[in-house]
Chain A
Amino acid sequence: MLDLVWLIPLFPAIGFLINGLLGKRLGKGAVSVVGPSAIGLSFLTAVLIFFELIGRTPAERIFEKEIFAWVVSGSFKTVIGYQIDPLSMVMALVVTGVSFLIHIYSVGYMHDDPGFTRYFTYLNLFVFMMLNLVLANNFLLMFVGWEGVGLCSYLLIGFWYEKDSASNAGKKAFVVNRVGDFGFLLGIFLLFVHFGTLDFTDLFGALQKNPQMISVETATAITILLFVGACGKSAQLPLYVWLPDAMEGPTPVSSLIHAATMVTAGVYMVARCNVLYTLAPLSMAVVATVGVATAIFAASIGFCQNDIKKVLAYSTISQLGYMFVGVGVGAFSAGIFHLMTHAFFKGLLFLGAGSIMHALSGELDMRKMGGLRKKTPVTFWTFFFATLAIAGIPPFSGFFSKDEILWQAFSSPHGHFLLWLVGAVAAGMTAFYMFRAVFMTFWGECRADEEVKHHIHESPRIMTIPLTILMVLSIIGGWVGIPHVLGGGNHFHEFLAPVVGGAEPGKAHAGISLLAQAWASSGEGAGHSAALEILLMVVSVAIALIGIGIAYLFYVKRPELPARLAERRRGLYRLVLNKYYVDEIYQVLFVDSLKRLGTGLWRGFDEFVIDGTVNGIAYFLGWISSVLRRVQTGLVQNYAFSILAGGVVLAVYYLLRSLF
């Protein structure tokens, strides 16, 4: 079964081809079956492979399948090949599973859209590319998937391309991603220069046998460059600006691409390269710092946003920051764990937002919502549980994953107390603004227009069933990673350990990270006690509850308080409402200056020099010929004269030559 790993990306590829080439002819019915079922088959294959993988001992949980040799040039060889190990299977399951649910949801959500076929074509293409990214066994194929998901993101953000704002947002996403990809490419080049190969097992294996193979400076350079790529793809500071604009796309797209899968590619990449990162402590500090800064920065913007999708977008940026904190302090499995739970609850939150918009005939502004609790119960309960999960309330999934990260930030050899503190504050802010959204949307009086109020209805079952399934996953999804201190086996961490480190000695295989030696056992580093861990857990839950309480106060009990606070601190309010003017700063700093440079070069060089030279040569030749044409007088005697002149010249020349 493991041999058939190539089926996992194949099904979405076939779906893409069928939908793309034949979709218009087959009609909506066929497309709505082909699209989701391609992903469903993919998911099924992934599950079967997963069970077979579990059947093996941890040391043997690695399998590579080469499809064909892609580039063979001199000593450089790259293949199209897939690698099955715990990390890639976790990612594959998350991607295919959540995609499957979102595809089913989309059949209902996009039902009336004229671009129905195009939508599913792009979506299938996206899943294909994403699967290539996570299943690849070398950097080059991973980069292909990396670029491919960027392309699909552009196509899907600008899905309603007639709207200027949508196509601009698509372009912005692509260009900002490009900046990150440039760093990524440079990192890949450096890797090739130093190792001569881009294959994961070869590269990391060589590095583990001989950690002195590259200097710390080189490792730092490579990892920082790779992280630049992750910043672009996973929307960290300063390359996050595309994600809020990406909300122009259809809501299921936001859910799938910009919450559950594409944006997590950066985290996956860092986890995959854990061997490299552990050799460069400086880069890990950079990763963790950028992550925590992003987390709190985005959370602060979420306080004042009135568009429900924008709130969720900033929340995604913030949670991605958490994941990077996790991998930045060496807790790679904790980062992946949060990735998984985040896919569940954030995917659900976006789908729920879509459901809310569906109920309110497309309304996005939370100030015009309210009181939907009774009218759309399924939407309400799913959204509510997802918000509890994101706020980090036990026993929901978000609590375990977020808490694991916070604990590692505190206790790991790469961690720091400040990281924990800022992370905890951001957690509280998360709880606040998420519940703010919940209260504004579902509690109180309905502030919508009369016309809209009459049409409020629950979404059809094809949309609510995926919501329910995701809600269940958000609740129980965290139970695979219950830490030791609470009595669980932390199975998630154990499962991923052969790839990312932290396993008990003797259970590891050749692909084990260098942290295996540094770690005592999971969660208990350098002498921190279990009591401290439980204390920190209680503190984070308390902070979350305080956040929820403040939100309740502001938006249910005393709704006039927010307005009064905004009045008192008008300047600060305006600053946060306008996202700290970052977009405007970028516009002035980069966009306008580049535009001016381009215009200057165009006028000054292209028009003046190049066109001038080419046109000048043509004009010059024309001028010469207009002068020379006067030789053609048509008079025979003139011609005879010139013949004579030539003859005389020759004669005189030879004469003089013989003279001297």
Chain B
Amino acid sequence: MAENIGILFQWLVFLGMAFTSIVASLFLITRKNPIHSALLLVLNFLCVAVIYLLLQSQFIAVIQVIVYAGAIVMLVVFVIMLLDLEEELRSGLRLLYSKVFGVGLAGLFLVAIVYSVAASSLTGKRGPYTPDKLQANVKAVGEVLFTDYLFPFEIVSILIVAAIVGAVVLSKKKSR
């Protein structure tokens, strides 16, 4: 009985979060004001973070909030405020004739995804990390990160340094 309630709760949270994120993203692509879109993006990220929690990836959920919702969207908002955008660009979604094709194609893509996902069961080799092991999430992630995936980890750090340097160099004003 208790399990049922737990699972029911899970279902409720999932459906709520799913619905919210879909609505948020739909609004995101149709708002005129880019600030509105940025805020809706934050909402979307937060919903997805909750879903991560449902999937027992606490580590990733926290990282999502800190990096995505915290840093990236903040950057976007700063740039929106930095650039003085004219009125015209504040317009929303304009469905021009040619863009209908894009929408149609995306719809086709969605159909393909849904079908392929629904038609077959989840196959693949099962690894050792059962949900119990995933309780100590950060420890488990750390174990794998610093042994099997050490090299990509180092490379990514270099990548981030390059991005920092690149960003600084690119946005420097030309010295007189």
Interface of A toward B, CB cutoff 8 Å: 637, 641, 644-645, 647-648, 651-652, 655
The residue of chain B having its C-beta at the shortest distance from the C-beta of A656 within the complex is B112
B-side interface mostly: helix
B102 close to chain A: CB less than 8 A:
yes
CB distance from B95 to the nearest CB of A (A): 14
The docked-state distance in angstroms from the alpha carbon of A651 to that of B105 is 12
* Residues of chain A with a CB closer than 8 A to B102's CB: 637, 641, 644
The docked-state distance in angstroms from the alpha carbon of A655 to that of B109 is 11
Chain A proximity mask over B85-123: 1 for CB below 8 Å, otherwise 0: 000000000000000011001101100110110000000
B105 x A645 contact (CB < 8 A): yes
B112 x A651 contact (CB < 8 A): yes
Residue tally, chain B, CB below 8 Å to A: 10
The docked-state distance in angstroms from the alpha carbon of A76 to that of B113 is 78
CB distance from A650 to the nearest CB of B (A): 10
The docked-state distance in angstroms from the alpha carbon of A641 to that of B115 is 22
* Residues of chain B with a CB closer than 8 A to A648's CB: 105, 108-109, 112
List 9 interface pairs A-B (beta carbons < 8 Å), by A numbering. Answer: A641-B101, A641-B102, A641-B105, A648-B105, A648-B109, A648-B112, A651-B116, A652-B108, A655-B115
* Residues of chain B with a CB closer than 8 A to A655's CB: 112, 115-116
The residue of chain B having its C-beta at the shortest distance from the C-beta of A651 within the complex is B112
* Residues of chain A with a CB closer than 8 A to B106's CB: 644
The docked-state distance in angstroms from the alpha carbon of A637 to that of B109 is 17
* Residues of chain B with a CB closer than 8 A to A641's CB: 101-102, 105
Q: Which of B11-68 contact A (CB under 8 A)?
A: none
CB distance from B102 to the nearest CB of A (A): 5
* Residues of chain A with a CB closer than 8 A to B108's CB: 648, 652
A651 x B109 contact (CB < 8 A): yes
The docked-state distance in angstroms from the alpha carbon of A645 to that of B102 is 9
CB distance from B122 to the nearest CB of A (A): 15
The residue of chain A having its C-beta at the shortest distance from the C-beta of B116 within the complex is A655
* Residues of chain A with a CB closer than 8 A to B113's CB: 651
The docked-state distance in angstroms from the alpha carbon of A43 to that of B101 is 99
The docked-state distance in angstroms from the alpha carbon of A369 to that of B116 is 115
The residue of chain B having its C-beta at the shortest distance from the C-beta of A640 within the complex is B102
The residue of chain A having its C-beta at the shortest distance from the C-beta of B108 within the complex is A648
A647 x B109 contact (CB < 8 A): yes
The residue of chain A having its C-beta at the shortest distance from the C-beta of B106 within the complex is A644
The residue of chain B having its C-beta at the shortest distance from the C-beta of A644 within the complex is B105
Residue picked from B102, B105, B108, B112, most chain A C-beta under 10 Å? B112
CB distance from A316 to the nearest CB of B (A): 91
* Residues of chain A with a CB closer than 8 A to B115's CB: 655
* Residues of chain B with a CB closer than 8 A to A652's CB: 108, 112
* Residues of chain A with a CB closer than 8 A to B105's CB: 641, 644-645, 648
* Residues of chain B with a CB closer than 8 A to A645's CB: 105
CB distance from B105 to the nearest CB of A (A): 6
CB distance from B108 to the nearest CB of A (A): 6
The docked-state distance in angstroms from the alpha carbon of A637 to that of B99 is 10
The docked-state distance in angstroms from the alpha carbon of A645 to that of B105 is 7
The docked-state distance in angstroms from the alpha carbon of A418 to that of B102 is 103
CB distance from A637 to the nearest CB of B (A): 8
The residue of chain B having its C-beta at the shortest distance from the C-beta of A654 within the complex is B116
CB distance from A543 to the nearest CB of B (A): 108
CB distance from A131 to the nearest CB of B (A): 87
The residue of chain B having its C-beta at the shortest distance from the C-beta of A650 within the complex is B112
Residue picked from A637, A645, A647, A648, most chain B C-beta under 10 Å? A648
The docked-state distance in angstroms from the alpha carbon of A641 to that of B112 is 17
* Residues of chain A with a CB closer than 8 A to B112's CB: 648, 651-652, 655
The docked-state distance in angstroms from the alpha carbon of A641 to that of B103 is 10
* Residues of chain B with a CB closer than 8 A to A651's CB: 109, 112-113, 116
The docked-state distance in angstroms from the alpha carbon of A644 to that of B108 is 11
The residue of chain B having its C-beta at the shortest distance from the C-beta of A638 within the complex is B98
* Residues of chain A with a CB closer than 8 A to B109's CB: 644, 647-648, 651
* Residues of chain A with a CB closer than 8 A to B116's CB: 651, 655
Q: Which 7 A-B pairs have the closest CB atoms?
A: A651-B112, A648-B109, A641-B102, A655-B112, A652-B112, A655-B116, A648-B108
CB distance from A264 to the nearest CB of B (A): 91
The docked-state distance in angstroms from the alpha carbon of A655 to that of B108 is 12
The docked-state distance in angstroms from the alpha carbon of A290 to that of B151 is 100
Known: A641-B101, A641-B105. 19 other contacts (CB 8 A): A637-B102, A641-B102, A644-B102, A644-B105, A644-B106, A644-B109, A645-B105, A647-B109, A648-B105, A648-B109, A648-B112, A651-B112, A651-B113, A651-B116, A652-B108, A652-B112, A655-B112, A655-B115, A655-B116
The residue of chain B having its C-beta at the shortest distance from the C-beta of A647 within the complex is B109
CB distance from A643 to the nearest CB of B (A): 11
CB distance from A223 to the nearest CB of B (A): 85
CB distance from A227 to the nearest CB of B (A): 84
* Residues of chain B with a CB closer than 8 A to A644's CB: 102, 105-106, 109
* Residues of chain B with a CB closer than 8 A to A637's CB: 102
CB distance from B101 to the nearest CB of A (A): 7
CB distance from B1 to the nearest CB of A (A): 42
CB distance from A648 to the nearest CB of B (A): 5
The docked-state distance in angstroms from the alpha carbon of A644 to that of B103 is 11
Q: Which of B102-158 contact A (CB under 8 A)?
A: 102, 105-106, 108-109, 112-113, 115-116
The docked-state distance in angstroms from the alpha carbon of A652 to that of B113 is 9
* Residues of chain B with a CB closer than 8 A to A647's CB: 109
The docked-state distance in angstroms from the alpha carbon of A645 to that of B112 is 13
The docked-state distance in angstroms from the alpha carbon of A651 to that of B112 is 7
The docked-state distance in angstroms from the alpha carbon of A646 to that of B101 is 14
The docked-state distance in angstroms from the alpha carbon of A652 to that of B112 is 6
The docked-state distance in angstroms from the alpha carbon of A647 to that of B116 is 15
The docked-state distance in angstroms from the alpha carbon of A648 to that of B116 is 13
The docked-state distance in angstroms from the alpha carbon of A652 to that of B114 is 12
The residue of chain A having its C-beta at the shortest distance from the C-beta of B107 within the complex is A648
The residue of chain A having its C-beta at the shortest distance from the C-beta of B110 within the complex is A648
CB distance from A633 to the nearest CB of B (A): 11
The docked-state distance in angstroms from the alpha carbon of A154 to that of B106 is 83
The docked-state distance in angstroms from the alpha carbon of A655 to that of B101 is 21
CB distance from B98 to the nearest CB of A (A): 9
The residue of chain B having its C-beta at the shortest distance from the C-beta of A648 within the complex is B109
The residue of chain B having its C-beta at the shortest distance from the C-beta of A637 within the complex is B102
The docked-state distance in angstroms from the alpha carbon of A655 to that of B113 is 9
* Residues of chain A with a CB closer than 8 A to B101's CB: 641
The residue of chain B having its C-beta at the shortest distance from the C-beta of A645 within the complex is B105
The docked-state distance in angstroms from the alpha carbon of A647 to that of B112 is 11
The residue of chain B having its C-beta at the shortest distance from the C-beta of A641 within the complex is B102
CB distance from A651 to the nearest CB of B (A): 5
The residue of chain A having its C-beta at the shortest distance from the C-beta of B115 within the complex is A655
The docked-state distance in angstroms from the alpha carbon of A645 to that of B108 is 10
CB distance from A437 to the nearest CB of B (A): 99
The docked-state distance in angstroms from the alpha carbon of A652 to that of B108 is 9
CB distance from B120 to the nearest CB of A (A): 8
CB distance from B165 to the nearest CB of A (A): 25
The docked-state distance in angstroms from the alpha carbon of A333 to that of B109 is 103
The docked-state distance in angstroms from the alpha carbon of A443 to that of B149 is 124
The docked-state distance in angstroms from the alpha carbon of A78 to that of B108 is 81
The docked-state distance in angstroms from the alpha carbon of A438 to that of B109 is 111
The residue of chain A having its C-beta at the shortest distance from the C-beta of B102 within the complex is A641
CB distance from A249 to the nearest CB of B (A): 83
CB distance from B87 to the nearest CB of A (A): 21
CB distance from B161 to the nearest CB of A (A): 28
CB distance from A539 to the nearest CB of B (A): 111
The docked-state distance in angstroms from the alpha carbon of A652 to that of B116 is 10
The docked-state distance in angstroms from the alpha carbon of A648 to that of B105 is 8
The docked-state distance in angstroms from the alpha carbon of A637 to that of B102 is 10
The docked-state distance in angstroms from the alpha carbon of A560 to that of B38 is 127
CB distance from A641 to the nearest CB of B (A): 5
